[in-house]
């Protein structure tokens, strides 16, 4: 197997703190779960998402955060405890997976440390 390393950079050439502020402004202001997730990444100097509230062309679904080229991150707060919301989430996320997207879901009662540790290829130290 031949592997080529790649350096992940922000296409907007933003510095880390500016990118964090932009994402804070883009995220859902009513979501404490998104706020906690983003703050955790920033505090721990982990790679930040490329976008917040990213619209995926051709699909009626909007991940809370998006890492280019294909990683959708959903931050599920208490509203996602409702059975009908869980079912809707499941259908939409399965659709994204079938379309080739990677779908990551962080549930507000779960450890953020454990969540990011599962994907060091995405959530790695940048500072």
Residue range 16-117 forms a domain whose CATH class is alpha beta
Q: pTM to 2 decimals? A: 0.86
Domain boundaries in the chain? 16-117
What is the predicted pLDDT for the residue at 12?
Answer: 43
User: Is the distance from CB of 127 to CB of 42 less than 8 angstroms?
Assistant: no
User: Is the distance from CB of 72 to CB of 63 less than 8 angstroms?
Assistant: yes
| pLDDT, tens digit, 9 for 90 and up, residues 63-72 | 999 999 999 9
| pLDDT, tens digit, 9 for 90 and up, residues 15-55 | 999 999 999 999 999 999 999 999 999 999 999 999 999 99
| pLDDT, tens digit, 9 for 90 and up, residues 72-116 | 999 999 899 999 999 999 999 999 999 999 999 999 999 999 999
């Amino acid at each position: 197997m031949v592997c080529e390393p790649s350096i992940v950079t922000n296409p907007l050439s933003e510095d880390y703190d500016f990118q964090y502020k932009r994402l804070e402004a883009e995220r859902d202001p009513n979501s404490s779960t998104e706020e906690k997730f983003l703050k955790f990444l920033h505090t721990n100097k982990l790679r930040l998402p490329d976008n917040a509230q990213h619209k995926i062309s051709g699909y009626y679904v909007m991940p809370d955060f998006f890492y280019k080229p294909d990683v959708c991150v959903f931050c599920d707060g208490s509203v996602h405890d409702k059975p009908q919301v869980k079912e809707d989430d499941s259908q939409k996320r399965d659709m994204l997976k079938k379309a080739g997207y990677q779908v990551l879901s962080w549930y507000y009662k779960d450890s953020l440390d454990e969540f990011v540790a599962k994907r060091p290829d995405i959530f790695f130290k940048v500072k």
